[in-house]
Amino acid sequence: MRVLLTGGAGFIGSAIADQLAERGHTPVLLDALLPQAHADGKAPEWLDRYELVHGDVRDADLLDRLLPDVDAVCHQAAMVGHGVDPNDAPAFAENNDVATAVLLAAMYRSGHRKLVMASSMVVYGEGRYSCPEHGVQPPPARTQADVDAGRYDLPCPVCGRDLQGELIPEDAALEPRSTYAATKLAQEHLAVAWARATGGRVYAMRYHNVYGPRMPQNTPYAGVASIFRSSLERGEAPRVMEDGRQRRDFVHVSDVAGVNVAALEAAEDTTPAGTCVPLNVCSGEVRTIADLAGQLAEAMDGRAPEIVGGARPGDVRHVTADPARAAELLGFRAQVGFAEGITRFATDPLRAAIRS
């Protein structure tokens, strides 16, 4: 199977390319080599063995030339992360939403009716919470006044008691709380509309906190694991915001690649025609941000984490997921445990630092 893999030179895309090749498939990588992920605008040397097209997913003519020569499409290209400030909004919308719309239109013209695409846990916003007395409750938005006062947990809207984070199923309410999150949800909506109009099938992979080799480093778009590792490499303590008790699910990039390949290989009867099926892509292990910082500091023999309070705009309190649907539909279960994965991550090769 020849697979058009957008964003194929990236952190997750390159891991998918490796697993496709290992299973006898031929990945065709399409990547714009954006400076947020590629310091010198060049593809990393580990991709030399693959066919790489340097181009933009928004280039409809390019897609019309590439798509007839492939059997499947895996869409990973995106601008990711919190960004710097609201000035990033047009870039997020162009690279995520416009690019996806152009790809879907080109797939319609070429007759492709199946897409595996990257989404994100950020579409859930604050996630799912329950009150010991009143059950599942919609979490209120956190205010800056609460953050400044060190009140990080969310109150029950009925009684005011602290809500407890719960595992999020795919049918939970979707309430993006950042520009990036809004563009990821818009991608899913575009895919839903396309599937209904064409009878196509889409898997929308809602990634949780992905880490592992080839992560970008020293950039405002990097993930928290990369940020903590960069601090430790400089001899600094990892700075943990809030109280460190924010709950997350950290999933290794090799597991993320594996579920994408499983979706590409899945038989058509795994999901009905005309649908976009979201899947939580997670490890199933609930950990805290402080757990991550502590495990990484121990593995790197570095300074103990510092709890510094505060929060970044768009940060949410708890986001952890139910992995049951991916297991049921694709047989996916994460293979890399937290302690093993973070210990490996301490010495994994990362992408070259972004030069200012």
> How many angstroms separate the Cα of 92 from the Cα of each of 46, 48, 192, 336?
27, 28, 20, 31
- 149 within some domain: no
- 259 within some domain: yes
Which of 14-23, 262-271, 339-348 has the weakest average pLDDT? 262-271
Of all residues in the chain, what percent carry a pLDDT higher than 70? 94
What is residue 353's predicted lDDT score, i.e. its pLDDT? 55
Residues 134 and 30 in one domain: no
Residues 254 and 328 in one domain: yes
- 58 within some domain: yes
| C-alpha–C-alpha distance, residues 103 and 62, integer Å | 10
At 356, the pLDDT band (50, 70, 90 cuts) reads very low
pLDDT over threshold 80, residue 197: yes
Residues 99 and 240 in one domain: yes
Residues 42 and 160 in one domain: no
Residues 161 and 186 in one domain: no
pLDDT over threshold 50, residue 61: yes
Long-range own/partner contacts, residues 225-229 (CB < 8 A, 24 or more apart): 225/250, 225/292, 225/296, 225/342, 225/345, 226/350, 228/292, 228/293, 228/296, 228/297, 228/305, 229/296, 229/300, 229/345, 229/346, 229/350
Residues 135 and 6 in one domain: no
Long-range own/partner contacts, residues 141-150 (CB < 8 A, 24 or more apart): 141/177, 142/311, 142/316, 142/317, 147/242, 147/310, 147/311, 148/310, 150/243, 150/309
Residues 268 and 195 in one domain: yes
Average confidence (pLDDT) over 33-51: 79
Average confidence (pLDDT) over 70-98: 90
Selection from 195, 191, 169, 194 nearest residue 272 by Cα: 195
- 102 within some domain: yes
Average model confidence (pLDDT) across the chain: 93
Are the C-beta atoms of residues 282 and 124 closer than 8 Å to each other? no
What is residue 221's predicted lDDT score, i.e. its pLDDT? 57
pLDDT over threshold 90, residue 355: no
- Give the CB-side neighbour count of residue 147, counting CA atoms within 13 A: 16
pLDDT over threshold 70, residue 126: yes
What is residue 39's predicted lDDT score, i.e. its pLDDT? 67
Residues 117 and 180 in one domain: yes
- 71 within some domain: yes
The residue to which tokens 């993006």 are assigned: 176
| C-alpha–C-alpha distance, residues 91 and 79, integer Å | 8
pLDDT over threshold 50, residue 18: yes
Residues 50 and 160 in one domain: no
Residues 194 and 207 in one domain: yes
Domains contained in the chain, number? 2
Average confidence (pLDDT) over 220-242: 90
**Helix spans in 118-198 (H):** 144-148, 179-198
pLDDT over threshold 90, residue 349: yes
At 81, the pLDDT band (50, 70, 90 cuts) reads confident
- Strands (E) across the chain are located at 2-6, 26-31, 51-54, 72-75, 114-120, 128-131, 135-137, 164-168, 201-207, 209-211, 239-240, 247-248, 250-252, 275-281, 287-288, 306-307, 320-321
What is residue 316's predicted lDDT score, i.e. its pLDDT? 87
Q: What CATH code is carried by the domain that includes residue 180?
A: 3.40.50.720
Average confidence (pLDDT) over 187-205: 98
- 221 within some domain: yes
Residues 243 and 161 in one domain: no
Helix (H/G/I), strand (E/B), else coil: 75: strand
Average confidence (pLDDT) over 206-228: 86
- 356 within some domain: no
pLDDT in tens, 150-188: 999 999 999 999 999 999 999 999 999 889 999 999 999
Identify the domain containing residue 134 by its residue range. Answer: 129-142+154-165
Residues 133 and 218 in one domain: no
- 57 within some domain: yes
Higher pLDDT, 131 or 35: 131
What is this structure's pTM? 0.94
